[in-house]
Amino acid sequence: MSQKASRKESFPPFFLEDIPDIVRGHEIWVEHGMQNVSPGDPVVCDLCFGHNMKSDKAVQVEKVTPAISGTWGENHEVEVSTAEDHLLMQFIPAFAGYHTIGVEYDGGILNLPHPGLEGPKYYQQYTKTILPVGDCQVGNCQIVNCQAGGNCQAEYDPTVGHELEIIPLGYRQYKVGEHILLKILYDGHGLPDIIVYGIHAGNRENPIEVTTDQEGMVDIELEKGGKWMFKVGYRDPEKGVKDLYDKKVMTATFTIMDVGENVWK
């Protein structure tokens, strides 16, 4: 696997105003600025919709399905509301450990007349991020009465179960210069030969692109600190439904909010 900067992403050769955003390259992702969260603290996250970490508008609340899962169970009480250019998701974690915030966005069936876009297609998007609650680190958990015996990571599965999903293997608190290993799952199986984009919030126009190996994995160096988003898209004509749509068009994203600086650099 080789890592390189992408000169240009593959999108339709026209960007007309009447083409829906979800068709011309917009995706959902989750952002937050939460730090030092403890059980019982209110958590607020932004569900954004735009391109390469630049949010343009809020999607319709009724089209999103959020879910929170974590080391010791699930929290289904997620309040969703509309803000200026994004949605707000709020919940209260009941326990310590890593919490996965996952969202499904149902873009529905679109049948466009534009050249290259003809034919009805079903658009579905997925996103997730991971929020640590309590001081939970690999092999060094400081949580009082931690049920994992001092190692929360040993009990944490970052898989949500989305149709198309980006899985961080060996998830931890990352530093600049470290590598993140991602596995792309489609219907629970590794997806080979697919491009994964790595977008840094400070360099949205020049994403990194890496192609998955035969097991659906990529290795990406986190070259800068701060916010990162990883994105993959997939079209499957085998999931077309006769007389309804000819293929399913899916996008999945995964975000990291706090890649830290290495003090020794």
Query: In the chain, where are the structural domains located?
Result: 4-259
Taking only the tens place, the pLDDT of each residue in 112-152 is 877 777 889 999 999 999 999 987 654 444 444 444 444 44
Lowest model confidence (mean pLDDT) among 30-34, 54-58, 188-192: 54-58
Q: What does the DSSP 8-state code read for residue 58?
A: P
Q: Which has the higher per-residue pLDDT, 63 or 260?
A: 63
pLDDT of residue 72: 64
The vertex-231 CA angle with 51 and 216, nearest 5°, equals: 165
**Predicted confidence (pLDDT) at residue 12 exceeds the cutoff of 50:** no
Stretch 228-255: mean pLDDT: 96
| CB count in 10 Å sphere of residue 71 | 23
- Residue % of the chain over a pLDDT of 70: 82
- pLDDT bin (cut points 50, 70, 90) of residue 74 is low
**Could you give the angle at the alpha carbon of 175 between the alpha carbons of 172 and 176, nearest 5°?**
145
Q: Which of 168, 163, 144, 178 is nearest to 229 (CA)?
A: 168
Tokens read off for 101? 């915030």
Q: Over the range 242-262, which residues count as b (16 or more CB within 10 Å of their CB) and which as e? A: eeebebbbbbbbbbbbbbeee
Residues β-bridged to residue 35: none
Contact of 39 with 137, CB cutoff 8 Å: no
Please report, for residues 24, 141, 263, 265, the alpha-carbon distance to residue 68 in angstroms, rounded to integers and kept in the order given. 29, 21, 33, 36
Q: How far apart are CA 210 and CA 95, in angstroms?
A: 36
- Whether residue 188 contacts residue 160, with contact meaning beta carbons closer than 8 Å, is answered with no
